[in-house]
Amino acid sequence: MTGGIVQIPSASDWSAIGVETTLAATLVAVLIVPFFARSQRGVGLVALVGVLAAFGVTLLPASVSTGHSAFFGMLIADPAALLWRQVLLLFTAGVIGIWFGATSRAVPVGDAPEFMTLLISATLGLSLMGATSNLLLLLLAMELASMPSYVLAGFRKTKRHAAEASLKYVLFGAVCTAVTIYGLSLLYGSAGTLDLGHWITATRGAYTPAAIVGVFFVLAGLLFKISAVPAHFWCPDVFEGSHVDVAAFLSVASKGAGLLLLARLWDGASHFATPMVAGMAAVLGIVAVVTTAVGNLGALRQQSVKRILAYSSIAHAGYLLSAMAVLPAGRTSLLAYLVVYAVMNLGAFAVLAGVERAAGSDDVSAFDGLAARSPVAAVAMAVCLVSMVGLPPAAGFLVKWKIMSTLATAGGAWWWIVASVAINSIISLVYYAKILRAMFLRPSTVRQEPSRLITALASVCAVTLVLMLIAFAPLEQWAASAVFWQAPVQTP
């Protein structure tokens, strides 16, 4: 910014925040509507319409950009940010669908506006996280996403588990945020700029000791959002203590935003072939391998399906980070995996929400005989779980194979990550099969079946997964076209 001259945002600036503006308007609407309509579902409907409208905004020609910076370099509008927003908004709409189908019948009357306000403001922050490389906006977006999430985790105020989950989440999150902010201050100091794009080009892959400490401290905050080792401890407890829809939201939205932000920063840095950059890639690879192993081994001894899915989401963070290690070559497989991961997790959590609502428990035994009670939901769940293992006939098979083939051909010795992905997929079969066995081979102990809305939502996810396997090329093209845009180098 040039000193002294007041700059006015231009039209292209405003088109870069079309989604955020729509979400902010929805936020206001969700708070005002309860004054006129006392119905819970009315509020949910307003939120759903707002989120879908924001998705509509991403389809407008004005939202499409090959890459430019907006608001004086604070925001970036590029294909990757657009892809993330589309995935995020459709996923959030799905989460509101789960809320309609299961949770809205369990929350006390009058709590819906608060819930939707928190959900949408978190979505707003997560959407911004995918579209910035400015240190200040990055921090604000992360905090805008985190703070509502802490409250959402403890939304069932009278439940001891929810209180404990939100306490653990807020303390762990606040410490990680403080470490991140300290890291950001070191990054700022090491190059005198708040723009990480400039920072990366200024340092040219050779970092001072202060910058290295800064990079690792910022990485800690991002790993917390991704729920990767060593910042994964909150994940199972928070999932178990919170509503299924909140758990579903955190599993994909929060993780995806962290991954996209990390990918954006790392994509810029990885263009410089220095020993330090190679070291960072190795660190990311090690984090990926350990995260995958911790997630899969942790899931083995769980009886609660919520906790199984929590550990499975840690494992998937590991698979996604595997592709991260070989950026920029791994970008396509990373984004394709993220899209498929969002669909399969939405389907699995939807069925879980329906079963938990019907049976009053999230134990594996609550799934006993689901195939007899509700064959459609059981088959949809089976497709999602098979996709998580990485087997046909679901898209999880191809995206996992794509990650492995990218790692194998990326150059450099990455065979150990390929081996880790393969071995862990076999381990994961054990605990997913536990749910499959309960659904198809055990006699039913409960009468109720998941609501029709839940069944429909899960079937849509399952059909999408199969379709993405059959028509993999368009998905791959979409992911390949979502490039990260780098600001041109500025000479000060």
Partner 1 sequence: MTVGLPHYLVLAAMLFAAGIITVLTRRHAIGILMGIELMLNAANLNLVAFNRFSAVGKLDGQVFALFVIVIAAAEAAVALAIFLNFYNNFATVDVDQGNELKG
- Choose one: 68-76, 169-177, 219-227, 244-252; the region binding partner 1 (CB under 8 A): 169-177
- Choose one: 45-53, 132-140, 327-335, 388-396; the region binding partner 1 (CB under 8 A): 132-140
Cβ closest to partner 1, residue 19 vs residue 238? 238
Cβ closest to partner 1, residue 303 vs residue 405? 303
Cβ closest to partner 1, residue 308 vs residue 407? 308
Q: Which of 38, 41, 105, 161 binds partner 1 (CB under 8 A)?
A: 161
Residues in 279-318 at the binding interface with partner 1, rule: CB under 8 A? 301-304, 307
- Choose one: 232-240, 263-271, 407-415, 470-478; the region binding partner 1 (CB under 8 A): 232-240
Cβ closest to partner 1, residue 308 vs residue 398? 308
Q: From CA 263, how far away is CA 83, in angstroms rounded?
A: 13
Cβ closest to partner 1, residue 173 vs residue 354? 173
Answer yes or no whether residue 254 interacts with partner 1 by CB under 8 A.
no
Minimum CB distance to partner 1, residue 186 (Å): 7
Token pair 């190795």 in the structure block, residue: 282
Minimum CB distance to partner 1, residue 300 (Å): 11
Minimum CB distance to partner 1, residue 165 (Å): 6
Minimum CB distance to partner 1, residue 477 (Å): 39
Answer yes or no whether residue 237 interacts with partner 1 by CB under 8 A.
yes
Cβ closest to partner 1, residue 233 vs residue 478? 233
Q: From CA 214, how far away is CA 40, in angstroms rounded?
A: 46
Minimum CB distance to partner 1, residue 147 (Å): 5
- Gyration radius from the chain CA atoms: 22
Cβ closest to partner 1, residue 187 vs residue 439? 187
- Choose one: 163-171, 286-294, 366-374, 391-399; the region binding partner 1 (CB under 8 A): 163-171
364 contact partners, CB below 8 Å, separation of at least 6: 303, 304, 305, 308, 434, 435, 438
Minimum CB distance to partner 1, residue 179 (Å): 7
Minimum CB distance to partner 1, residue 258 (Å): 18
- Choose one: 72-80, 147-155, 432-440, 480-488; the region binding partner 1 (CB under 8 A): 147-155
Answer yes or no whether residue 232 interacts with partner 1 by CB under 8 A.
no
Cβ neighbours around 452 below 10 Å, total: 13
Torsion of CA 101, 107, 109, 111, to 10 degrees: -100
Q: Which of 9, 192, 279, 412 binds partner 1 (CB under 8 A)?
A: 192
Q: From CA 219, how far away is CA 214, in angstroms rounded?
A: 8
- Choose one: 82-90, 221-229, 236-244, 282-290; the region binding partner 1 (CB under 8 A): 236-244
Q: Which of 136, 430, 441, 471 binds partner 1 (CB under 8 A)?
A: 136
Answer yes or no whether residue 7 interacts with partner 1 by CB under 8 A.
no
* Dihedral sign (CA 334, 335, 341, 344): negative
**440: nearest Cα among 352, 379, 380:** 379
Answer yes or no whether residue 135 interacts with partner 1 by CB under 8 A.
yes
Minimum CB distance to partner 1, residue 177 (Å): 7
How many angstroms separate the first and last alpha carbons of the chain?
11
Answer yes or no whether residue 452 interacts with partner 1 by CB under 8 A.
no
Cβ closest to partner 1, residue 168 vs residue 402? 168
Cβ closest to partner 1, residue 18 vs residue 236? 236
Cβ closest to partner 1, residue 282 vs residue 363? 363
Residues in 57-76 at the binding interface with partner 1, rule: CB under 8 A? none
The one-letter code for the residue type at 134 is: N
Answer yes or no whether residue 174 interacts with partner 1 by CB under 8 A.
yes
Answer yes or no whether residue 241 interacts with partner 1 by CB under 8 A.
yes
Cβ closest to partner 1, residue 182 vs residue 478? 182
Q: Which of 76, 82, 96, 184 binds partner 1 (CB under 8 A)?
A: 184
Residues that bind partner 1 (CB under 8 A): 3, 135-136, 139-140, 143, 147, 150-151, 154, 157-161, 163-168, 170-171, 174-175, 177-179, 181-182, 184-186, 188-189, 192-194, 236-237, 240-241, 301-304, 307
